[in-house]
Amino acid sequence: MHCIGGEALFPKSDYGSSGQILTLSKRENILEDILEKWRRGSRGPLPQLTPLQLLNALLLIDRDGPLGRRALASALQLNDGVIRGLLERLAESRMVTVTETGVQLSKVGKEDLRKLLRQLSIKKTLSLEQSDLVPAHSAMGVHVSKAYRPGMTGIVQRDEAIKAGADGSITVAVLGKKLAIPPDNKSIAELAPKDNAMLWSELEPVDKDLIIIGFGKDPGRALAGALAAVLSLQKA
């Protein structure tokens, strides 16, 4: 990624394994690094923008772009001034291009988003329409590589999801050939067979992966909740 003055926002590191990624992300939060570079730039700090909101914005633009400023502001629950400042900085960093129909990630932006997701061990995001696990809610799943740890309960992740504006989150662990909800490891196949089949087919997870499902009033809040839960894993 390039920023004002041509500096790279992402470190040029080779993340060869999931363990290496998780260790590095605990030591240096790449999202905080981006915001700090913006704080030192000529425009000054961007008020009210958190690392979670930055990550959510990049994913929304990537998924739904070209995306209008008002639609992005609504999805992120931020005012127009903050969104305008964010898009101006992303454009100056050559991460986005602006068209008559909205903003979309540039080639550089797509490459840098992939680097960021790799550092956070995020493999894929998935919209779960009409989920039986969380009926009457919008739901978004985030697949995280090798993030399961024995003894985890998902409570911390749920609390972080709620703080981010979601109604909650469900932590799903891949235990061998089974998708289960810790700590009592209830089987997703028994609780929600349709969701179980979709998660296996769309995400193709492997042993010790996690799938964090955020749910809320709309897809934006659901994704924010899932991402907040994922970021909480890096603090563990």
Domain at 191, CATH number: 3.30.1360.30
Task: Give me the pLDDT at residue 50, please.
Answer: 87
- Number of domains present in the structure of the chain: 2
3-state secondary structure the chain: CECHHHCECCCCCCCCCHHHHHHHHHHCCHHHHHHHHHHCCCCCCCCCCCHHHHHHHHHHHHHHCCECHHHHHHHHCCCHHHHHHHHHHHHHCCCEEEECCEEEECHHHHHHHHHHHHHCCEEEEEECCCCCCCCCCEEEEEEECCCCCCCCCCHHHHHHHHHCCCCEEEEEEEECCEEEECCCCEEHHHHCHHHHHHHHHHHCCCCCCEEEEEEECCHHHHHHHHHHHHHHHCCC
| End position of a domain, from candidates 118, 139, 168 | 118
Shared domain for 153 and 111, answered yes or no, is no
Q: What percent of the chain has pLDDT over 90?
A: 64
Tell whether 199 and 166 lie within a shared domain: yes
pLDDT tens readout for residues 27-64: 346 788 778 877 776 766 666 788 899 999 999 999 99
Identify the pLDDT of residue 93: 86
The pLDDT score that the predictor gives to residue 29 is 64
At 121-171, the pLDDT tens digits run: 999 999 998 899 999 999 999 999 999 999 999 999 999 999 999 999 999
What pTM does this model have? Answer: 0.83
Residues 21 and 45 in one domain: yes
